[in-house]
Amino acid sequence: MPAKAAFYDVDGTLVKTNVVHVYAYYAMNRGSLLGTVGRTLATAASVPLFAAMDALDRKTFNEFFYRYYAGLSEDRLVSIAEDMFEDVLQPALYSESKDLIDQARRVGCRIVLVTGALDFTMRPLARYLGADELIANKMQFVGGVATGKVIPPIIEGANKANAIRSYCVREGLSLDQCHGYSDSSSDYAMLSVVGRPTAVNPDLRLRNIARAYNWPILDLK
């Protein structure tokens, strides 16, 4: 078993898109004209609110944002995920992401995606990238219908770091030898917990942190 892993945030790190793009795809493929129009308009109208909440606090944003999934059926969410991957995520994948992951795999790292996105939306991407593990948020379903609530703990901020630590303990990996990649200062905890953190296309705050702590900075294209 490899003694180390490489943990990758997804949105903004490996792909250009974020959770809102993914949800927007679902909103635009609602299955009925009325549903599509209603959800799309509601999503579009909420974009400024999403941006403000995300800037304020990623956890609050996630809790608020995932309520929009309420009422959508599990079957539909899972079955559309493959199309969503082909139409949204795959074209948005940075072309250098695969090289970065391939290099980590060559040197014996397990590949783990750690994302605040919902697990069913990320599975096709994880499969495409050959990830060994996906750590993502899980939507609560009751009677096959999404409640809009995420099963705690919500994977974001400090919880990403906890999830990574738990994963390493469970798999017998050395955190010191593990690599972490993220684009956002909200993932500061995740990057701090691994021995080899790297900022990827970082926001201003993370860029400053990376400079201060001498973490490598990658500009993926």
Partner 1 sequence: MRPLKTLRKLYDEESQVVITEKGSPPRALFYGENFLLEDLPVGTRVIFPRPPMTGVPNVKAAIRWAINHPEDMEPLHALLRPGMRLTCVIDDISVPLPPMVTPDVRQSILEVVLELAADSGVDDIHLVIANALHRRMTESEMRRMVGTKIFDAYYPDRYYNHDAEDPDGIVELERSPCGSHVVAVNRRVAESDLIVYVNVNFVPMNGGHKSMGTGVANYASLRAHHNPKTIRDTESYMEPGRSELYRRNQRIGEAIDKHLKVFHIETSLNNRMFGPGVEFLAKKEEDYTEADRLKLQAMRFALSKMPRAAARTVLNSIPAPYEVTGVFAGATEPTHAKTLEKVWQQYVVPVEGQSDIVIFPIPFISPYSVNSILNPLLVQVMALGYFFNLNRGVPLVKKGGVLILTHPAYDEFDPVQHPSYIEFFNRLLPETRDAVQLEQKYEKEFAENPSYVHLYRKGNAYHGVHPFYMWYWGENGRQHMGKVIVAGGENNHVPALMGWERTDTLTEAIEEARGFMGRSASISMLRIAPTVMVDVK
Q: How far is the CB of 165 from partner 1 (least distance, A)?
A: 21
Whether omega before 153 lies within 30 degrees of 0, making that bond cis, reads: yes
Nearer to partner 1, 24 or 193 (CB): 193
Nearer to partner 1, 112 or 150 (CB): 112
The pattern of x and - marking residues 196 through 215 that bind partner 1 according to CB under 8 A reads: x-x------------x--x-
Distances in Å between the Cα of 178 and the Cα atoms of 8, 108, 166, 173, 193 are 11, 11, 13, 8, 9
Binding status of residue 216 toward partner 1 by CB under 8 A: yes
Please enumerate in sequence order all residues whose Cβ is within 8 A of that of 100, keeping only pairs 6 or more positions apart, or say none. Answer: 181, 218, 220
**Residues numbered 140-159 forming contacts with partner 1, rule: CB under 8 A:** none
Q: Which residue, chain included where needed, has tokens 């990758």?
A: 8
Q: How far is the CB of 112 from partner 1 (least distance, A)?
A: 13
Binding status of residue 6 toward partner 1 by CB under 8 A: yes
Binding status of residue 130 toward partner 1 by CB under 8 A: no
- The strand pairing partners of 217, in sequence order, are 199
Nearer to partner 1, 32 or 214 (CB): 214
Q: Which residue, chain included where needed, has tokens 């695969």?
A: 98
Nearer to partner 1, 13 or 121 (CB): 13
Distances in Å between the Cα of 180 and the Cα atoms of 33, 48, 164, 196 are 42, 30, 10, 6
- Identify the burial level of 146 via C-beta atoms within 10 angstroms of its C-beta, where 0-12 means exposed, 13-18 middle and 19 or more buried: buried
Binding status of residue 102 toward partner 1 by CB under 8 A: yes
Contact set with partner 1 (CB under 8 A): 6, 96, 99-100, 102-104, 106-107, 109, 177, 179, 181, 196, 198, 211, 214, 216-219, 221
